[in-house]
Amino acid sequence: MHRLLLLSCLWLLAAPPVPSIFQRPTGSPAPPHLQYLLEPLHPTVHTQRGATATLPCVLRALPRNYRVKWSKVEPANYRESIIIITNGLYHKNYGPLSPRVRLRHSHRYDASLTITDVALEDEGRYRCQLVNGLEDESISLTLHLEGVVFPYQPSNGRYKFNYHEAKRACEQQDSRLATYQQLYKAWTEGLDWCNAGWILDGTVHYPIINSREPCGGRLLLPGVRTYGARDKQKDRFDAFCFTSALQGSQVYFIRGHLNFKEAMQACRSHGAAMAKVGQLYSAWKFSQLDRCDGGWLADGSVRYPITTPRERCGGLPDPGVRSFGFPSKEMRTYGTYCFMGK
Q: How far apart are CA 243 and CA 337, in angstroms?
A: 17
User: Which DSSP letter does residue 61 get?
Assistant: S
Q: How far apart are CA 313 and CA 224, in angstroms?
A: 28
**Residue 294, in any domain of the structure:** yes
**Residue 12, in any domain of the structure:** no
* Same-domain status, 125 and 151: no
Residue 83 near residue 95 (C-beta atoms within 8 A)? yes
**Residue 56, in any domain of the structure:** yes
Tell me the C-alpha to C-alpha distance, in Å, between residue 258 and each of 261, 280, 292, 294, 331: 8, 19, 16, 11, 7
Other CB atoms within a 10 A radius of the CB of residue 249 amount to 19
**Residue 261, in any domain of the structure:** yes
Residue 324: which domain range? 250-340
**Residue 22, in any domain of the structure:** no
CATH code of the domain containing 92: 2.60.40.10
For the chain, how many structural domains are there in total?
3
Instruction: Enter the pTM of the model.
Output: 0.83
CATH code of the domain containing 240: 3.10.100.10
* Amino acid 128: pLDDT: 97
Reading the chain (342 residues) residue by residue, the pLDDT tens digits are: 333 333 333 333 333 333 333 344 444 444 457 889 999 999 999 998 999 999 999 999 988 889 999 999 886 666 889 999 999 889 999 999 999 999 999 999 999 999 999 999 999 999 999 998 777 899 999 999 999 999 999 999 999 999 999 999 999 999 999 999 999 999 999 999 999 999 999 999 999 999 998 888 888 889 999 999 999 999 999 999 999 988 889 999 999 999 999 999 999 999 999 999 999 999 999 999 999 999 999 999 999 999 999 988 888 899 999 999 999 999 999 999 999 987
Q: How far apart are CA 33 and CA 128, in angstroms?
A: 15
Digit-coded pLDDT (tens) for 222-264: 999 999 999 999 999 999 999 998 888 999 999 999 999 999 9
Digit-coded pLDDT (tens) for 34-59: 889 999 999 999 998 999 999 999 99
* Same-domain status, 235 and 262: no
Tell me the C-alpha to C-alpha distance, in Å, between residue 98 and each of 70, 101, 131: 12, 6, 20
**Residue 27, in any domain of the structure:** no
* Same-domain status, 133 and 192: no
Q: Is residue 185 classed exposed, middle or buried when 0-12, 13-18 and 19+ CB atoms within 10 A define those classes?
A: middle
